[in-house]
Amino acid sequence: MSKMSKATGVLVAGTCINLTIGVLYAWSVIKKALVADWGWTNTDASMPYNVAIVVWAIALLAAGAMQDRIGPKKVITLGVTLVGAGMILSSFIPQDSVIGLTIAFGGIVGTGI
């Protein structure tokens, strides 16, 4: 692989990684729908996001240590897998399960991001 191809690959990968953070920005839209369509309170609808932020901050520390041991490619692959799996799982959560969405989105997606 040429230096230019490798640099382009790193640039594209970095851009895609930063786009995963956009999932957190989208929560304001999701929260409005949870309140309006599912009848959740603002507190309940904020819980998955709040947990995701805390879990994300803690997972960053663990990911840094893992990256030193197993390399960034494996850590990124694990993160992407967790984000995808968490989002898919979140789509199956019943509308009255604040705890379920908090675990799926807050815990799993938050760890992956």
- For the stretch 39-54, pLDDT in tens is 999 999 999 999 999 9
Torsion of CA 15, 53, 97, 46, to 10 degrees: -110
- pLDDT at position 73, please? 85
- pLDDT at position 72, please? 87
- pLDDT at position 1, please? 57
- For the stretch 51-92, pLDDT in tens is 999 999 999 999 999 999 999 889 988 998 999 999 999 999
To the nearest 5 percent, what fractions of the chain are helix, strand and coil?
85, 0, 15
- What's the Cα-to-Cα distance from 79 to each of 42, 61, 104, rounded to whole Å? 28, 13, 14
Question: Taking the alpha carbons of 27, 28, 33, 38 in that order, is the dihedral positive or negative?
Answer: positive
